[in-house]
Amino acid sequence: MTDPRTMTKHVSKLLAFLSVAVLMLLTVALAPMFSQAERQPGDLSPAAATLPPGKPAPAQTQAAPAVVPQSQEEIYLSFAPLVKGASPAVVNVYTAKNVKSRVTPMEQLLYGVPAQGSVQNSLGSGVIVGAEGIVVTNNHVIQGADSFRVVLSDRREYAAELLLADERTDLAVLKIDTGAERLPTLDFADTRAVQVGDLVLAIGNPFGVGQTVTSGIISATARTDVGVSDYSFFLQTDAAVNPGNSGGALINTKGELVGVNTAIYSRTGGSVGIGFAIPSEMVKRVVDAAVNGGTFVRPWLGLAAQSVSFDIAKTQGLARPVGVIVTEVYPDGPAANAGLRRGDLVTAIDEREVFDEKGLKFLAAVRNPGETAKLTVLRAGAVQTINVELEPPPGATEADVVLLSGASIFNGARVIELSPRLAEENGLDPFSKGSGIYVHSVTRGTISRNYFQPGDIIRAVNGKTTKSVKDLEGVVAKGGREWEIEIERNGRTVKGTVRT
């Protein structure tokens, strides 16, 4: 039989041991709670591990591990506040075009059929970039329309005035009158800082269903082979962009306007995750031109160039294809005056790499005439910087159009001498000065309409080369019933004899 005093001692020791064990278990169980309580709201960094005394902390060589949301607020993170701030500056743009029905004058005379017409409506999106009512959209949204209407996000409607339409950049600027009210606007982002992978939101009115927001990332920058406009330099995004989104906003996570949504690549007409936006740096240039004068003057480098292939890059000592080779320099143009030569390899403009002539033209066009562009040039194996003062292309403009008259096949044709400025404005070769006369337009009901089309280039008449309007007028003045002409139409040379 066990001594009671001995039994009491064993029980006391057992109770003491159990007390220590329970205390240790409670400490381990409650430690995460105390650690969590010490964190500040939104602090997602893991608690520091306890190190043995005297042992240094290991070097931080990897990113902190991902953690689950630590609060109810973090679980409900949303783009809603961003959209709430930006969406009032995105509008719907409605256009109307009056189209006459095909009722001939004879039908009107014999049957009394009135010359009726119909109205074609179209819909796009726009962005308010000026609090006084300045709205930017795509040119293809408003092209050919007779009237314009802007509907704000709160459903108020205003008639709009067209300030500027530029087909070559596919941008247009409208103005609405809201009196003294200041409208919400979007600030322009610095698109030079845009990187592939940046989060973006597209806001617009796809298919006319109402204002819609889609999210995605920047998929690529500096896309120049899209073929939508002459100054191709698009941001590509996988945010869903559909018909009706044209002219709408592509914004970053700061709520700034990164670009104007313009086009999609699709075999079905719907979004397949490849959308294109005009960068805001070009949008800003066009808007500034519209507000401060109404004419968008593109600066001109005065050179022609071709892309660098991998083989050319190797011969130039480059590790990869980059830049453009200068193939022509216009006499007394900006590039020539700055000292550029044929064969120079331009790798960058204003420290931004270029890969084709379209990219070079775009980066020059976002500057104003009179400003200086810094070209990085590789010449004879040496890299140098050449500063080029940008100028408008020289030569005749549409103000110099001449209307031909008289008893000839040219009666009713409006013509103008080819010049770098005219060529740039009409997408022609700016180096074709003196090579022909450009047919600007033809008058309805005149004989010239039977033989010429706008865009034709008259190279020669009756064996005489026509380098100037004066040359052409001299040939026309001689008259005659037989005309031997040579023209260029859509890149093809056409020769023939016309008898009247």
5: left (phi over 0), alpha (psi -120 to 50) or beta: alpha
- How many whole angstroms separate alpha carbon 3 and alpha carbon 132? 101
Q: Is 140 considered catalytic here?
A: yes
Is there a contact between 397 and 406 (Cβ–Cβ < 8 Å)? no
d(CA 139, CA 131): 21
Q: Is 435 a catalytic residue?
A: no
How far is Cα 30 from Cα 43, in angstroms, rounded to an integer? Answer: 20
Q: Among positive and negative, which fits the CA dihedral 230, 231, 233, 234?
A: negative
**Nearest alpha-carbon partner for 418 in 402, 404, 436:** 436
d(CA 46, CA 135): 48
Other C-beta atoms closer than 10 Å to the C-beta of 400 total 15
Helices 357-365 and 280-291, packing angle to 10 deg: 40
Which residues does 341 contact at the CB level (< 8 Å), separation at least 6? 326, 329, 379
| Gap between the Cα atoms of 300 and 357, Å rounded | 12
DSSP string, 223-235: E--S-SSSS--EE
Q: Which of 170, 344, 356, 456 is catalytic?
A: 170
Q: Alpha-carbon distance 3 to 14, whole Å?
A: 17
Environment class of residue 446 by beta-carbon count within 10 Å: exposed (0-12), middle (13-18) or buried (19+)? middle
| 154 in active site | no
| Best CA proximity match to 333, nearest among 301, 376, 285 | 301
Q: Which of 219, 229, 246, 448 is catalytic?
A: 246
Given the residues 87, 122, 125, 140, the one annotated as active site: 140
| Tokens (6 digits) for 120 | 């074609």
Closest alpha carbon to 273 in 301, 307, 240 = 240
> Tokens for 323?
């830049």
Helix (H) or strand (E) holding 385: strand 382-389
175 is written with which tokens?
Answer: 């103005």
Question: Which residues are within 8 A (CB) of 492 and not within 5 positions of it... i.e. 6 or more apart?
Answer: none
DSSP string over 260-318? EEEEE--SSSS--S-EEEEEHHHHHHHHHHHHTTS--PPPB--EEEEEPPHHHHHHTT-
Known catalytic residues are 140, 170, 246
